[in-house]
Chain A
Amino acid sequence: MDRLGFLTGRAARAVLILFGVIVLNFVLLRLAPGDAASVLAGDQGAADPAFVAELRHDLGLDRSVPEQLWIYTKSLARLDFGQSYRDQRPVVDIIAERLPATLLLTLTAFCFALGTGIALGSIAARHAGSLLDTVLTGISVMFFAMPLFWTGLMAILLFSVWLNWLPSYGMQTVGEGGSDLSLVGDVAVHLILPALTLGLFYMAIYMRVTRASVLDVLDRDFVRTARAKGLKPGLIWRQHVLRNALLPIITFASLQAGQLIGGSILIETVFAWPGVGRLAFDALMQRDYNLLLAIFFITSTIVVVINLAADFLYVAADPRIEMGA
């Protein structure tokens, strides 16, 4: 297939998906009964209809839905996500405060999951049928069957409550000042449990995919040919097996990007991690539309961009495309 055509098609689809995401999220959330004005008014102890109407006007909630969507899309283009109903601060500021924590958590977990998943999966496949394979597969089956939020709570119970080794919540020790270096250490210690919990689940998935993929490639004719012509096993492994086995893993890992963000909502809830996932949940509970829509837009954009990047990576990694050209 023509590489450029393939990638252009994927890019066009990414834009289409993104537009669909904006419209769908907006429409769904606009349909939600009970808007921010009534929530705010209720909180301030004033159920006075005139007051609610005034609030609705201030927040732009009394205009028609298409009008609101148009205003919203225009402001998105300027990266203006509006004010948070609850905090009366620009939404973009609130998210910017929280985004680094989520990126730190998800990227650490993702790198750990991908690295150990591919390594352990390859080892399991190389020794397929052995005791080592059984043990590794067992570990993968176990972590895959444990829901994230439960694994997290169990980790807290074991490492924080019983063993008292690691902190169980937050990102920093409250009231702990000190040098930059001790701050980094403090955050790192707080990161271990949430990142491991999130990472182990995805490690289990990547391990399964890697094992299956490597076993599949090992069975192919070109590997047999490589062996027959006497190539060194290490070379066959790197150049023939791993490179081909990586392809489904790239696709799979990118498809999991959205799930990883969903997983961070759970992990941030369990570990009181001050990130965007927890923020999305709070925004939903408080019906803070601007905030929630902005988070949806940003996470969807991230997912779409990751998927697109994976398509580029796939083209770069696929040896078959070079041969066909």
Chain B
Amino acid sequence: MPEIRALASVQDHVLLGHGEVVNSYRSLLLRALLRERSFRIGALIIGFVTAGALLAPVVAWLLGHGVTEQFRDTALTEMGLPTGPTFEFPLGADGNGRDVLVRTLYGARVSLAIAIPATTLAMIIGTAIGLVSGFLAGRVDRVISQAVDVALSFPFIVTALSLLSLNRGVDGKPFVAPSLVVVLIITLFSWTYFARLTRGLVFVLRRSPLVEAAQTIGASKARIIMREILPNIAPVILVYWAVQLPTNIIAEATLSFLGVGVQAPQPSWGNMIAEAQRSSLYQLQPWFLLGPGIALFLTVAGFNTLSAGLRNVLDPHRRSG
């Protein structure tokens, strides 16, 4: 693919500090991205999911169904069982007579509102630690790397369950909003990946001509890190943000499914699926399970595809496919 090869050489120029090619680099990048099929498909799916999240109140208003509103007369049969898809309830109802479509759309908001801050926070913390570790090298680096290795060896679910158990009073009520704790726990488990990635990138760059040049003119360490190294590794880290995000979306759904994440009646795809399972009503009204499940699948698959496309374009050494 000629455009990728061209991009690689341009990337080298940027790495060497030839600022004047940056503008053409950007337009070249955009063109290469739009030519990449996985990027287009991923962007389309993400656009669709984001639109769903943003338009949730509009859909709720159009259907006249609030997100926690129960319609026991219209959405439940005489036996108290939820109805399947109807004109009024496009994805049917759940066990409490609530609209599955409206709740699924609001679930997208919750999912993104937890995963995006958590991933961003992890990126900031991990990048900062990775920069220090990679740039200072030596003893500091060995200590940090060991700490990262140890942190990585904790199994996520088991440890997260134990951490979340701290946030529960004697009466069973949480001290801090569970959503906030979920954000912090996901951050705690994903900064390590950013730290490792950043450290590796900085290790290569700290011996490069652009850093040596900065050292020659007497730039301080802080300046070299912030002005020379960070701008050069930022694109790779941002791509990794998109790689990590779907993992964190699943993490939130998993914790909510286990009942320690987002709490009812606030809808989250995880706690909706848990409710479907607990009541076994999904066996009668499959959309109770399919609604949140497909939404979760689409979101995760969309971000995975998008990040695969980004990597294909930005990393010329990687084989596409």
* Interface set of A (CB-CB < 8 Å, partner B): 13, 16-17, 20-21, 25, 28-29, 31-34, 38, 128-129, 133, 137, 141-142, 144-150, 153-154, 157, 161, 215, 219, 255, 258-259, 261-263, 265-266, 269-270, 280-281, 284, 287, 292, 295-296, 299-300, 303-304, 307
Q: Which of B8-16, B96-104, B156-164 has 4 or more CB atoms under 8 Å from chain A? A: B156-164
| Total number of B residues with any Cβ neighbor in A under 8 Å | 41
23 contacts between A and B (CB under 8 A): A13-B146, A21-B154, A28-B163, A31-B166, A32-B165, A33-B175, A34-B170, A141-B301, A145-B246, A146-B300, A147-B253, A147-B257, A147-B296, A150-B289, A153-B277, A154-B293, A259-B156, A261-B158, A262-B155, A266-B254, A296-B162, A303-B153, A304-B153
Q: Given known contacts A34-B168, A219-B319, what 11 new A-B pairs fall within 8 Å (CB)?
A: A32-B165, A33-B175, A133-B321, A141-B301, A141-B304, A148-B254, A149-B273, A157-B283, A259-B156, A284-B161, A296-B158
What is the distance, in angstroms, from A223's C-beta to the closest C-beta of chain B?
Answer: 14
Residues from chain B with a CB closer than 8 A to the CB of A284 are 161-162, 165
A150-B296, A299-B155 as given contacts; A28 in contact with B254, CB under 8 Å: no
* Interface set of B (CB-CB < 8 Å, partner A): 146, 149-150, 152-158, 161-163, 165-166, 168-170, 175, 246, 250, 253-254, 257-258, 273, 276-277, 282-283, 286, 289, 293, 296-297, 300-301, 304-305, 319, 321
Closest to A219 in B: B319
What is the distance, in angstroms, from A313's C-beta to the closest C-beta of chain B?
Answer: 17
Is the Cβ of A261 less than 8 Å from the Cβ of B319? no
Select A34's contact among B169, B253, B293, beta carbons within 8 Å: B169
Residues from chain A with a CB closer than 8 A to the CB of B156 are 258-259, 262
Task: Kindly state the separation between the CA atoms of A137 and B38 in the bound complex, as whole angstroms.
Answer: 12
Top 5 A-B residue pairs of the complex, sorted by shortest distance between their CB atoms:
A262-B157, A258-B155, A34-B170, A145-B301, A145-B300
Closest to B302 in A: A145
Is the Cβ of B250 less than 8 Å from the Cβ of A147? yes
What is the distance, in angstroms, from B190's C-beta to the closest C-beta of chain A?
Answer: 13
What is the distance, in angstroms, from A214's C-beta to the closest C-beta of chain B?
Answer: 11
Q: Which has the most chain B C-beta neighbours within 10 Å: A153, A161, A299?
A: A153
Residues from chain B with a CB closer than 8 A to the CB of A269 are 258
Residues from chain A with a CB closer than 8 A to the CB of B146 are 13
Task: Kindly state the separation between the CA atoms of A263 and B166 in the bound complex, as whole angstroms.
Answer: 22
Is the Cβ of A215 less than 8 Å from the Cβ of B319? yes
Is the Cβ of A270 less than 8 Å from the Cβ of B277? yes
Is the Cβ of A29 less than 8 Å from the Cβ of B162? yes
Is the Cβ of A161 less than 8 Å from the Cβ of B283? yes
Is the Cβ of B170 less than 8 Å from the Cβ of A281? no
Task: Kindly state the separation between the CA atoms of A157 and B150 in the bound complex, as whole angstroms.
Answer: 40
Residues from chain A with a CB closer than 8 A to the CB of B319 are 128, 215, 219
Main secondary structure of the interface of A (DSSP, over half): helix
Select A265's contact among B157, B273, B277, beta carbons within 8 Å: B157
A137-B321, A258-B153, A266-B157 as given contacts; A147 in contact with B254, CB under 8 Å: yes
What is the distance, in angstroms, from B37's C-beta to the closest C-beta of chain A?
Answer: 11
Select A25's contact among B152, B162, B277, B305, beta carbons within 8 Å: B162
What is the distance, in angstroms, from B245's C-beta to the closest C-beta of chain A?
Answer: 12
Closest to B260 in A: A284
Residues from chain B with a CB closer than 8 A to the CB of A303 are 153, 155
Q: Which has the most chain B C-beta neighbours within 10 Å: A34, A137, A219?
A: A34
Residues from chain B with a CB closer than 8 A to the CB of A307 are 153
Task: Kindly state the separation between the CA atoms of A304 and B126 in the bound complex, as whole angstroms.
Answer: 24
Residues from chain A with a CB closer than 8 A to the CB of B246 are 145
Task: Kindly state the separation between the CA atoms of A33 and B173 in the bound complex, as whole angstroms.
Answer: 11
Select B282's contact among A133, A147, A153, beta carbons within 8 Å: A153
Residues from chain B with a CB closer than 8 A to the CB of A129 are 321
Is the Cβ of A153 less than 8 Å from the Cβ of B254? no
A21-B154, A266-B254 as given contacts; A157 in contact with B282, CB under 8 Å: yes
Closest to B149 in A: A13
Is the Cβ of B158 less than 8 Å from the Cβ of A157? no
Select B273's contact among A13, A20, A28, A153, beta carbons within 8 Å: A153
Is the Cβ of B297 less than 8 Å from the Cβ of A146? yes
Select B153's contact among A17, A31, A32, beta carbons within 8 Å: A17
What is the distance, in angstroms, from B58's C-beta to the closest C-beta of chain A?
Answer: 27
Select B150's contact among A20, A28, A280, beta carbons within 8 Å: A20
Residues from chain B with a CB closer than 8 A to the CB of A13 are 146, 149
Q: Which has the most chain B C-beta neighbours within 10 Å: A16, A31, A296?
A: A296
Is the Cβ of A157 less than 8 Å from the Cβ of B289? yes
Residues from chain A with a CB closer than 8 A to the CB of B165 are 29, 32, 284, 287
Q: Which has the most chain A C-beta neighbours within 10 Å: B158, B250, B296?
A: B158
Task: Kindly state the separation between the CA atoms of A217 and B154 in the bound complex, as whole angstroms.
Answer: 31
Is the Cβ of B166 less than 8 Å from the Cβ of A28? yes
Task: Kindly state the separation between the CA atoms of A196 and B319 in the bound complex, as whole angstroms.
Answer: 31
Task: Kindly state the separation between the CA atoms of A16 and B150 in the bound complex, as whole angstroms.
Answer: 9
What is the distance, in angstroms, from B306's C-beta to the closest C-beta of chain A?
Answer: 12
What is the distance, in angstroms, from A24's C-beta to the closest C-beta of chain B?
Answer: 8
Residues from chain B with a CB closer than 8 A to the CB of A255 are 152
Residues from chain A with a CB closer than 8 A to the CB of B168 are 32-34
Closest to B286 in A: A157
What is the distance, in angstroms, from B305's C-beta to the closest C-beta of chain A?
Answer: 7
